[in-house]
Amino acid sequence: MPDTLQQPLRDLFLERYEEFRQRLRTRLGSHQLAEDALQETWLRLETLRGSTVAVKHPAAYVFRIALNAAEEQRRKQSRLMTLDDVEDLYAMADELADPAREALGEQEIRLFRRALSELPRRRRAIVTAARLEEVPHAEIAARHGVSLRTVEKELRAGLEHCCRRLDREYVQRFGPKNKRPSE
């Protein structure tokens, strides 16, 4: 069975290879990207075996295949990190691994555990479930046989207590506003 689309496009590709390469290099601004796109174009033309689709403008069709291949390669490369990006991450990790910071973090964890242990059992369970285990409030309410509003009140009271013990300001991110009048 003769190849109706594949062979003429491959022949055209080989005949006009230099023209395609020059046009791609001009369009893409990169010799290497143009070469890579042309290699990918050849492979894609190989996969057209047995296709019977008619192409009105074969040169434009082949050039579009090359442009699409180049765009896919650019997208792939943009997801990769450069050497500078990797070095920046290493530098950031070094700054974060400061022994003084680690000790401070460990101290805050101990203070938080102590503050949590000072809470009544149900309040501690609600704070732990909501903030550490990320359990939905409705599920917590069902577990404890209380209303959703009770869960919200207990959670707020528990978080406020822990913030006071850690000498931190309690910041409410969602839910009803604080009832204190603004100054």
pLDDT tens by residue, 51-90: 667 788 989 999 999 999 998 888 887 777 677 777 777 7
| 62 and 17 assigned to the same domain | yes
68 φ, ψ to 5°? Answer: -65, -40
| 107 and 64 assigned to the same domain | no
pLDDT at 89: 73
In which domain, by residue range, is 147 found? Answer: 98-165
47 compared with 149, residue with greater pLDDT: 149
| pLDDT over threshold 50, residue 182 | no
Residue whose token pair is 């594949």: 6
Query: Is position 86 within any domain?
Result: no
| pLDDT over threshold 50, residue 2 | no
Query: Is position 117 within any domain?
Result: yes
Residue whose token pair is 């913030």: 163
pTM of structure? 0.44
Residue 41: which CATH number?
Answer: 1.10.1740
Per the CB < 8 A criterion, the answer to whether 112 and 159 are in contact is no
Count of the separate structural domains present in the chain:
2
| 11 and 61 assigned to the same domain | yes
For residue 3, what is the DSSP state? -
154 compared with 182, residue with greater pLDDT: 154
Among 4-18, 56-70, 78-92, 149-163, the least confident range? 78-92
Query: Is position 93 within any domain?
Result: no
| 57 and 106 assigned to the same domain | no
